[in-house]
Structure 1
Amino acid sequence: MLNLVIFGPPGAGKGTQSAKLIEKYQLVHVSTGDIFRAHIKGQTPLGQQVSQIIAEGNLVPDSITIAMLEEEVKKNPDAKGFIFDGFPRTVAQAESLDAFLEGINTSISVVIALDVNEDELKARIAKRKEISGRADDDADKLVKRIDEYFTKTIHVLPYYEAQGKLSKVNGIGDIDSIFKSLTDIIDNY
């Protein structure tokens, strides 16, 4: 089973590249952002709770995030593998993910970090907001999300580096060139 973590700050291209990787490797995309948005759109009790947390620009607590992620994985017992997008965001989440996957006899194969500088991120997200109108692309929330990534989330990378699973890819350039860099790494696994 091929299990990938696509890592990077908001606007790095995780969703764009994940879509291409899903098609090529026939993987299931598990995006915590998509899961949260689906619950919010469906106005589930969990969605209402998550909506308030996100509206304040905060991260959803680990217990909620992990439970939703495990539910998504269990919905796909015959999957060839998974792409985890937007998760894990903390070392505790990474440890929980490893424990969960070990419990179903699999593990993370590779973690790919898309490196993109802050100016490029802001430009991409401003453009994305014009096109999609995503509420989480608001300028104030964006600054908080980027800051959250560079002060907290980025500390997950050494966890995977210590396991020999981390690869970094320059996330600036044309989509197909970045995709080729990703597939070159993945094909080694």
Structure 2
Amino acid sequence: MRIVLVGPPGAGKGTQAVRLAEKLAIPHISTGDLFRANISRQTELGKLAKSYMDAGNLVPDEVTIAMAKDRMEQPDAENGFLLDGFPRNVSQAEALDALLESESITLDAVLDLEVPEEEVVKRIAGRRICRNDSSHVFHVTYSPAKQEGVCDVCGGELYQRDDDSEETVRKRLEVYHTQTEPIIDYYKAQGLVVTISSLGPVDEITQRALEALKREKAENK
């Protein structure tokens, strides 16, 4: 299957992308991974992207699209892929359509992870990270530390990252509503959008997504 995964920050896209790609035996292609891989390998695209990032500028769409094209042409993506974080806006979606059409490939589904805005704020603003080891993550509501402000694992101080503050989360949501959400309507016009709730246990959400994708594939045969 060839899938685009969309949803607001805090919807659990990263978690579900990894799980779904594994279940469907297709590569998970995220823009973050594309940038890191190209920059670490010092490809021409990586050098170009780094020059924009070092200057504090956004990487232009055409660079992101070229990276995605290169990745989708790798042998492991021959039978499908799951795109996470790309396309990020309608112009990228249009470019992706043109790219796929040139290769006589079509998308099977656009999976939209739906979550109420206040839940997004609660999920992200409630995160607390250990200063000693950022892999030790807690949540004031869902997985609180035994002692407030102290890491259960190493005793380090727990803190809230600046980009997890409520104010920053709401700004990120504004950007999502303005730039990324319009691609849902763009793909709805093509009959590709499958919307599921991203509330509940992680395993349940994964199963919900797999069943919805299976139905979509059967209906479009």
TM-score bucket of the superposed structures, by smaller chain? 0.7 to 0.9
Structure whose residues are more often helix by fraction: 1
Partner of 1:108: 107
Cα distance, 1:136 vs structure 2: 9.5
Partner of 2:147: none
User: 1:155 is matched by which residue type in structure 2?
Assistant: P
Deviates more, 1:154-163 or 1:77-86: 77-86
Partner of 1:11: 10
Deviations 1:100-156 (A, max 9, x none): 1122221110001111223322343346672459x9945476444322101221011
Secondary structure of the 1:152 match is: helix
Give 1 or 2 for the bigger CA radius of gyration: 2
Gaps of 5+ in 1: none
Partner of 1:86: 85
Using CA pairs under 8 Å that are at least 6 residues apart, name the structure with larger relative contact order, 1 or 2: 1
Secondary structure of the 1:172 match is: coil
Closer, same or farther in 2 for the Cα pair 1:164/1:136, shift >3 Å?
A: farther
Partner of 2:153: none
Closer, same or farther in 2 for the Cα pair 1:77/1:26, shift >3 Å?
A: closer
Closer, same or farther in 2 for the Cα pair 1:152/1:128, shift >3 Å?
A: same
Contact map agreement 1:36 1:50 (CA 8 A) in 2: no
Closer, same or farther in 2 for the Cα pair 1:7/1:65, shift >3 Å?
A: same
Partner of 2:208: 181
Indicate the RMSD between aligned Cα atoms, in angstroms: 2.8
2:199 aligns with one of 168, 172, 181: 172
Cα distance, 1:170 vs structure 2: 0.9
Contact map agreement 1:40 1:51 (CA 8 A) in 2: no
Cα distance, 1:38 vs structure 2: 3.8
Contact map agreement 1:136 1:142 (CA 8 A) in 2: no
User: 2:174 is matched by which residue type in structure 1?
Assistant: D
Secondary structure of the 1:114 match is: strand
Closer, same or farther in 2 for the Cα pair 1:64/1:163, shift >3 Å?
A: same
Contact map agreement 2:27 2:77 (CA 8 A) in 1: no
Partner of 1:35: 34
Gaps of 5+ in 2: 138-160
2 CA distance for matches of 1:128 and 1:22?
Answer: 26
